């Protein structure tokens, strides 16, 4: 069985890949906007276990944005079978001071196109 905390790594990796597919890996976000997006809150519903060698897919769907937060709905599936559903909220922070910052409008538009 896949240990419960490992699923969080899968969710994180999917969000990182999603950002990279939009043209903004983590380093680009820091370079261009001076922002990091740490997880602020997380709600996970474990429905069924994954086992070693399962082929899993992890989805990322932006759900809501405010000037100071971005929420995602994520799912982990084995074929058509839902194994996990998560709601993840991230908060933009300044990469130098780690103080809460605002999401630039251009990024909000990119996230929801």
pLDDT digits (tens, 9 = 90+) for 5-52: 999 999 999 999 999 999 999 999 999 999 999 999 999 999 999 998
Give a yes or no: residue 100 inside a domain.
Answer: yes
How high is the pLDDT of residue 45?
98
CATH number, position 83? 3.10.129.10
* pTM score: 0.92
Q: Which residues contact 64 (CB under 8 A, 6 or more apart)?
A: 70, 71
Give a yes or no: residue 1 inside a domain.
Answer: no
Instruction: Give the residue from 42, 39, 44 showing the smallest Cα distance to 83.
Output: 44
Give a yes or no: residue 107 inside a domain.
Answer: yes
pLDDT digits (tens, 9 = 90+) for 63-99: 999 999 999 999 999 999 999 999 999 999 999 999 9
What's the rounded Cα separation, in Å, for the pair 67 and 21?
A: 22
Structural domain span for residue 58: 6-111
Give a yes or no: residue 30 inside a domain.
Answer: yes
What is the H or E stretch that residue 6 is in?
helix 6-21
Give a yes or no: residue 36 inside a domain.
Answer: yes
Instruction: Give the number of C-alpha atoms closer than 13 A to the C-alpha of residue 47, restricted to the C-beta side.
Output: 10
Q: What three-state secondary structure class fits 69?
A: strand
Number of domains in the chain: 1
């Amino acid at each position: 069985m896949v240990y419960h905390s490992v699923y969080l790594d899968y969710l994180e990796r999917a969000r990182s890949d999603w950002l990279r597919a939009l043209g903004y890996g983590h380093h680009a976000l820091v370079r261009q906007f001076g922002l990091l997006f740490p997880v602020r809150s997380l709600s996970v519903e474990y429905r069924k276990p994954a086992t070693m060698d399962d082929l899993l897919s992890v989805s990322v769907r932006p759900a809501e944005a405010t000037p100071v937060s971005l929420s995602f709905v994520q799912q982990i599936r084995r074929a058509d079978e839902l194994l996990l559903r998560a709601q993840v909220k991230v908060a933009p922070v300044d990469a130098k001071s780690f103080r809460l910052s605002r999401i630039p409008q251009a990024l909000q538009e990119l996230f929801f196109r």
